[in-house]
A and B are shown apart, each in its own frame.
Chain A
């Protein structure tokens, strides 16, 4: 079954803590993306990667970090520098020439 898997589905972060969101795909897509969605809002691009070992900042990269060591995986770390991390995080993949396909999302809450 081809697809995109995000985990965990729900995540709780304490103040000052770093947390990592997982995104794995078996669609053999080169490009992977991380978006953030706040309640009642559209999606905003955090980071994207078009090839292994390379990634670019999106519009709201501050307080986040990523890595792309394997084609299948693009984890996102929410660092303590991100002051308002509570949001719905969506990972996506694409070929660059068709629509982007989205995972099921991770809902992060600061406690």
Chain B
């Protein structure tokens, strides 16, 4: 059974600092997704990582995938308050069927 674990689950940081969210998963998969959720809202797609070594960057966020280690990271550079949200990673448990298994989410709070 595929399990996805994120850490930390809660992260409070100051503006301008850097930090990394980790996503570990238990069985082989080469497709991983990162989503953002604001309070009371739906999920917004951030990154799609489809192969080992994939790296994607958008603004202050950068995501990477190491399929051998079954690990993805979401790195935040010089955080700003607007990045405060809950971030989820999701792993595709069945290629083609896109049965996503989600991590518990990381609630990120960025303080001025």
Contacts and interface: CB of A to CB of B under 8 A. Distances in A.
Contacts, number: 55
A31 interface: yes
Interface in A13-50: 31, 33, 40-45, 48, 50
A53 interface: no
Interface string B89-103: 010000011111111
A104 B37 CA distance: 11
Given A43-B88, A50-B97, A99 B33 contact: yes
A93 B4 CA distance: 21
A44 to B, nearest CB: 7
A64 to B, nearest CB: 16
Contact of A100 (B33, B101, B104, B105): B33
- The range of chain A's interface size is 20 to 34
* Chain B interface residue number, banded: 20 to 34
B102 A100 contact: no
Nearest to B45: A99
Given A96-B96, A98-B48, A44 B42 contact: no
B69 interface: no
A94 B98 contact: yes
B77 to A, nearest CB: 22
Given A99-B48, A100-B33, A103-B42, 18 more contacts: A33-B98, A42-B88, A42-B103, A43-B43, A43-B88, A45-B99, A45-B100, A56-B97, A90-B43, A96-B96, A96-B98, A99-B33, A100-B45, A100-B100, A101-B45, A102-B42, A102-B44, A105-B42
Interface of A: 31, 33, 40-45, 48, 50, 56, 58, 90, 94, 96-105
Interface of B: 4, 33, 35, 41-45, 48, 88, 90, 96-105
Q: Which 7 A-B pairs have the closest CB atoms?
A: A42-B102, A99-B45, A43-B102, A102-B43, A94-B98, A102-B42, A99-B48
